[in-house]
Structures are given as C-alpha cells and as structure tokens.
C-alpha cells in the first residue's frame, strides 16, 4: 500500500472502473484505508457489466466506437489489454480509432482468461464522484494514469526540439506522454492549445494540459496538471514539478485544455 493511491489510480492500473471496484468489494463509499485489501478483478463473466446494451457487456465480441472513446477506455470497459485490442484489430501504437468503427473486443480464449482472473492488491484512497457515469469515471481514471505516467520522466533532461524518450522539450513531453495512452496530439504547444476543450483553472483535473505565455507570444509553454495545484513540465534544464501558485507561473498562466475523452 502506498500513500496517495486512489480508486481512480487502481482502476487505471487494472483496466476496470471505479464502480466495479466498489461493487466487487462491497464498498458503501469511495473511502478506503491503508492496509485494506481490495479485489481488483471479477471472477464471473457478469461482473462489471453496467450497460443494458449487449455491445457493452464483457462477453460481447464486437463494440462500436462512440464519441470520446479511446483504446484505453475500451480496454477498461471490456477488461482486456490495449495490446490485445491491437492484435485482434490489426492496430499499431500509432493507430487512431473513430466513432462508428467496429472493434473486436474479445476472443473465446481471452474471455475465459480475463473472467477467471482474480488479483489482490493493498491500496489507499483519494475517492471518486458518487453517481458519476462509467464513462466519466473511466476518463477520470485515465487522467490520473496520464499524470502518474508523466511523473516517471521526472528529472529527465530538457532539450529544445526533443520529443523523448531520453530528453524532452515542453510540448515533446506532452505529446510523448499522451501517445502512450493512444491520444495523438500535435507537436507544438501552440497547436496543442487548439486541441480538446477549454477548462477553467477551478475545474482542473489530473491529465489536463496547462498553458503559459512565457515569451509574450501566446501558448509558448505547457505542462500536465497533476492535482493539488501542481503540474509537471519540461522546463529550462529538466522535467520538473511546479506549482500554479508560484508567482512566475501564476503570472504567465493563460489557460488549460482537456483532451481526455475528446478524441479517439
């Protein structure tokens, strides 16, 4: 168990929804405690099915892509890995999916393996929004996963024009991190500022992209919001975590965009 873990992060790690975790563990609230053991996988083919549509049940073999879907959210919905979705549908890590497209989401062997698996993990909590839809919960879980993945590059060197994996500039880090979750973004901070939808500073969530006017010429710098007023960015010397309340960043902040759930 690690301090700071959450149901969102747990859901992202095991490709399930927060609501699944609540149901499987008979939780009456989203609060969990250090040392608590949680079941993070269903042992029956019906667990986790919250939609009346046959295309949304874990036993379904195909799924029609909906607006806002990504390979990550579909893998979470059907309790399979993104690698499996790629293999079953002839996709690669650079592939994009589009609303209306039909994807294969299970095989007879995979379905049997997935629904017979049961894993245990000791975890802690930050909680989730009661009554939120599974789609919203999946998007929130993905936001936490994006933020956590971005942290793995903390301390990596800054290099102008670098897009990883050994060095980054600001927009190169953004593009690289989101590509890991099959969200394709433009290369520059100026183009990234046009992606997704605007979000106010008071409504920021982990995984949102925050932008700054550092050269007096628009969104010349960006980072990934982590929560609690902090963001991670490739700055002058390395990838670092900074605070939106820092006088420098506060005076140059110009807005944020949410791309999770906004493209395929």
Active site residues: 170, 221, 233
155 within 8 A of 35, measured Cβ to Cβ: no
Helix H segments across the chain?
Answer: 7-14, 18-24, 71-78, 82-89, 108-116, 134-151, 170-180, 189-192, 247-252
Secondary element (H or E) of residue 6: none
Cα–Cα distance list, 178 to 99, 173, 174 (Å):
19, 9, 6
CA distance between the termini of the chain: 33
Write the secondary structure of 54-102 as one string of H (helix), E (strand) and C (coil): HHHCCCCCEEECCCCCCHHHHHHHHCCCHHHHHHHHCCCCCCCCCCCCE
Strand partners, 209: 224, 257
85 within 8 A of 97, measured Cβ to Cβ: no
Strand partners, 234: 239
């Amino acid at each position: 168990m690690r301090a700071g873990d959450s149901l969102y992060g747990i859901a992202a790690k095991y490709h399930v929804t927060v609501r699944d975790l609540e149901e499987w563990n008979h939780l009456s609230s989203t609060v969990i405690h250090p040392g608590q053991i949680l079941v993070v996988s269903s042992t029956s083919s019906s667990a986790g099915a919250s939609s009346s549509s046959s295309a949304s049940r874990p036993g379904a073999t195909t799924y029609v892509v909906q607006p806002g879907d990504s390979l990550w959210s579909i893998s979470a919905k059907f309790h399979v890995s993104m690698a499996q979705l790629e293999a079953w549908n002839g996709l690669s890590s650079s592939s994009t999916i589009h609303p209306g497209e039909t994807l294969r989401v299970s095989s007879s062997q995979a379905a049997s393996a997935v629904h017979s698996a049961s894993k245990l993990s000791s975890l802690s909590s930050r909680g989730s929004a009661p009554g939120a839809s599974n789609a919203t919960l999946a998007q929130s879980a993905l936001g936490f996963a994006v933020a956590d993945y971005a942290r793995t590059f903390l301390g990596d060197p800054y290099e102008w024009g670098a897009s990883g994996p050994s060095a980054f500039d600001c927009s190169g880090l953004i593009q690289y991190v989101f590509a890991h979750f099959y969200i394709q973004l433009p290369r520059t901070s100026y183009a990234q500022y046009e992606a997704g939808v605007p979000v106010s500073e008071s409504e920021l969530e982990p995984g949102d992209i925050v932008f700054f006017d550092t050269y007096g010429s628009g969104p010349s710098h960006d980072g990934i919001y982590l929560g609690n007023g902090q963001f991670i960015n490739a700055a002058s010397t390395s990838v670092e975590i900074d605070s939106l309340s820092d006088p420098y960043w506060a005076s140059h902040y110009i807005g944020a965009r949410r791309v999770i759930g906004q493209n395929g």
